[in-house]
Amino acid sequence: MAKIEDFSVGPLDDGQLKKARENIRRERSAGSDKPLSVAIMGQTGVGKTSLLNSLFGTDLAVGHVRPVTRRPEPVSVAGTSRHMLTFWDMPGIGESDAADETHLAMYLERLIHCDVAIWACHADSPSTAYDEQCLRRLLDTVAIETRRLIMSKLTFVLTKADVLAPPPWIFDMRGDRGTFGPGGALLRRLEEKAAYYESVFLEPRADLLLASTYGTGEFTVSDERLGFDRRGVHYRGYFSQQVCDTYSERYPAHREVFSRLRDNHRVLPCSALFRFNLTRLMTGVVNRLGPSAVFRFRRLLQEVEELAEVPVSTARTYGNLMIWDGERGTKAFDLAEIPL
Ligand SMILES: Nc1nc2c(ncn2[C@@H]2O[C@H](COP(=O)(O)OP(=O)(O)OP(=O)(O)O)[C@@H](O)[C@H]2O)c(=O)[nH]1
Ligand SMILES: [Mg+2]
């Protein structure tokens, strides 16, 4: 099984940059130089808004008790030549039947028009029935071609991965900052969860799936399912870990391309609180937006490593334990006060 570390992150080399520039020129001359958009959807309270706040440093309202996001909220970032990438924070589903009616209609419209859609599920819940039912409802209302289009844009993430403990999370401290990561046992559990969600949402819909990524000029592998054209490399079907491993063994020179194809169908566990996997989420999303996006938003990609960093002073306030000595009426222990 793939390690979560396998997600393809990396700067563009000269050949890729040249290719990206050519793609942009071609897009401009074809008049398809449109702004890009990403929508984030899923049940109320899964942490959609919090994820965007952590990714972009925004201060959108978050709900601790009741549903909060009422209408699609845009968060925009400018790429080169002021080309815009907009993330749409969608209202959550699951509040009531009446609200779902409106929100699912909004989802459908957004799914058709956006370039990538993030469907967020709660990492701590083994229940997939409600999300599955809503997704089916959406797909059932449209023709087969639109179903394919929608499924080719969807990427599933598991939110609030930090709530999965024990086994413990490890904070890797470097000076006054650090990064959270799961220890071995927790990493395996996250991988099992991700694989389970893939088996529920993606595997049964293999006939609707298309994995795509930008290619380097050297990619020339093609077979019944795998192909390439000027816009990139495509795989018709579910690009499972097994499929990825088979192609990677057969064509080791193209491992990175296969890994990016795999990112299309990998379910990514994230935590807005621990800033866990935000780098991979952002890289995966931009990779899926196509070769010109990778070029246009390269500054964003160059900054993504910093997305994972949490100040030590903030990290110390998480999972805090305070013991009150009721007999003496004093504080007996406070984890936040233990010197490092
Ligand atoms: N532990 C933990 N809690 C989180 C995380 N992300 C969000 N939360 C909490 O989850 C609750 C809901 O977060 P929101 O970001 O408002 O969720 P939402 O999906 O945008 O909700 P709606 O706008 O109602 O659809 C808040 O109490 C957040 O603090 C996370 O990564 N870890
Ligand atoms: Mg919200």
Cα 211 from Cα 233, distance rounded (Å): 8
Q: Choose among 333, 34, 308: nearest CA to 172.
A: 308
Amino acid at 50: S
Residue 138 tokens read as 């959406």
Output the furthest CA–CA distance in the chain (Å, rounded): 78
Count of structural domains, the chain? 1
Among protein residues, the one whose CA lies closest to atom 23 of ligand 1: 69
DSSP state string for 53-122: HHHH-------SSS----S-EEEEEE-GGG-EEEEEEPPPB-S-HHHHHHHHHHHHHHHHH-SEEEEEEE
Closest approach atom of ligand 1 to CA 46: 19
Domain of residue 323 covers 4-337
Range with the poorest average pLDDT among 96-100, 193-197, 318-322: 318-322
For residue 164, report the distance from its CA to the centre of ligand 1, in Å.
Answer: 15
For residue 272, report the distance from its CA to the centre of ligand 1, in Å.
Answer: 8
- Helix (H) and strand (E) counts for the chain? 12, 14
Amino acid at 315: A
User: Mean of the per-residue pLDDT values for the chain?
Assistant: 89
For residue 62, report the distance from its CA to the centre of ligand 1, in Å.
Answer: 6
Contact (Cβ atoms closer than 8 angstroms) between residue 70 and residue 19: no
Would you place residue 162 in the very low, low, confident or very high pLDDT band (cuts 50, 70, 90)?
very high
Task: Select from 43, 44, 62, 281 the residue to mutate for testing ligand 1; criterion: most ligand atoms less than 8 Å from CB.
Answer: 62
Q: Choose among 144, 150, 195: nearest CA to 4.
A: 195
Partners of 227 in beta bridges: 234
Average pLDDT over residues 270-276: 97
| Ligand nearest to C-alpha 106 | 1
Contact (Cβ atoms closer than 8 angstroms) between residue 271 and residue 297: no
pLDDT at residue 81 is higher than 80: no
Task: Select from 50, 55, 71, 268 the residue to mutate for testing ligand 1; criterion: most ligand atoms less than 8 Å from CB.
Answer: 50
Pocket around ligand 1: residues whose beta carbon is below 6 Å from it? Answer: 44-50, 62-64, 67-69, 91-92, 159-160, 162-163, 271-273
| Ligand nearest to C-alpha 51 | 1
Could you tell me the pTM of the whole model?
A: 0.89
Contact (Cβ atoms closer than 8 angstroms) between residue 102 and residue 134: no
For residue 315, report the distance from its CA to the centre of ligand 1, in Å.
Answer: 18
DSSP state string for 258-283: HHHHHHHH--EE-BTTTTBTHHHHHH
Interval 10-28: pLDDT, tens: 444 566 556 655 655 555 5
For residue 152, report the distance from its CA to the centre of ligand 2, in Å.
Answer: 24
For residue 23, report the distance from its CA to the centre of ligand 2, in Å.
Answer: 35
pLDDT at residue 307 is higher than 80: yes
Q: Which residue has the tokens 């699951």?
A: 94
Would you place residue 340 in the very low, low, confident or very high pLDDT band (cuts 50, 70, 90)?
confident
Cα 20 from Cα 36, distance rounded (Å): 16
Closest approach atom of ligand 1 to CA 62: 16
Interval 30-67: pLDDT, tens: 545 678 999 999 999 999 999 999 999 999 999 888 99
Contact (Cβ atoms closer than 8 angstroms) between residue 254 and residue 217: no
> Where residue 25 sits, what CATH number does that domain have?
3.40.50.300
For residue 44, report the distance from its CA to the centre of ligand 1, in Å.
Answer: 8
Share of the chain above pLDDT 70, in %: 90
CA dihedral 212, 72, 129, 5 (to 10 degrees): 40
